[in-house]
């Protein structure tokens, strides 16, 4: 198993600003992902955070809006840029383990006014 610390746990932000979410894992992991969970919805994969190279984004998500850093095997950040109310969601960091298991952080509850 992996212990994932994500911060901030919640934030209220103004339209047009940016927020950086941090994800720290207690062990080195190869696969690290960022998900979005819109209010009352399921989880949607934003991107795979690749160590030492650019993140791999899913359809509908772009680097300019959601820049991701992965400086080492235990840490990643996701920035939500130029926020609008439509970005209000829970953002979740997750890591992959053997047998297709995913472990998740507690999430960041973002509200954009």
Partner 1 sequence: TQLLEQSPQFLSIQEGENLTVYCNSSSVFSSLQWYRQEPGEGPVLLVTVVTGGEVKKLKRLTFQFGDARKDSSLHITAAQTGDTGLYLCARDTGGFKTIFGAGTRLFVKA
Positions touching partner 1 (CB under 8 A) are 4, 31, 33, 41-45, 48, 92, 94, 96, 99-107, 109
Nearer to partner 1, 74 or 106 (CB): 106
Q: How far is the CB of 1 from partner 1 (least distance, A)?
A: 10
CB of 40 to partner 1, least distance (A): 8
Q: Which is nearer to partner 1, 63 or 82 (CB)?
A: 63
Give the three-class secondary structure for 42: coil
Minimum CB distance to partner 1 smaller for 48 or for 69? 48
Q: Specify whether the CB–CB gap between 67 and 54 falls below 8 A.
A: no
In the bound complex, what is the minimum distance in angstroms from residue 47's beta carbon to partner 1? 10
**Angle, alpha carbons 12-15-21 (nearest 5°):** 50
Q: Per DSSP, what are the bridge partners of residue 56? A: 48
- The answer to whether 103 touches 1, Cβ cutoff 8 Å, is yes
The residue written with tokens 């992902």 in the block is 33
Q: How many Cβ atoms sit within 10 Å of the Cβ of residue 6?
A: 21
Nearer to partner 1, 14 or 39 (CB): 39
């Amino acid at each position: 198993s992996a212990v994932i610390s994500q911060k901030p746990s919640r934030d209220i932000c103004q339209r047009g600003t940016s927020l950086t979410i941090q994800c720290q894992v207690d062990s080195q992991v190869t696969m690290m992902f960022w998900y979005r969970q819109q209010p009352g919805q399921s989880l949607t994969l934003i991107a795979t955070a690749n160590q030492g190279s650019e993140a791999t984004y899913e359809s509908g998500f772009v680097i300019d809006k959601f820049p991701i850093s992965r400086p080492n095997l235990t840490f990643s950040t996701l920035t939500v840029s130029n926020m609008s109310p439509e970005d209000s969601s829970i953002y979740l960091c997750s890591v992959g383990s053997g047998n297709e298991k995913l472990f998740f952080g507690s999430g960041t509850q973002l509200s954009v006014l």
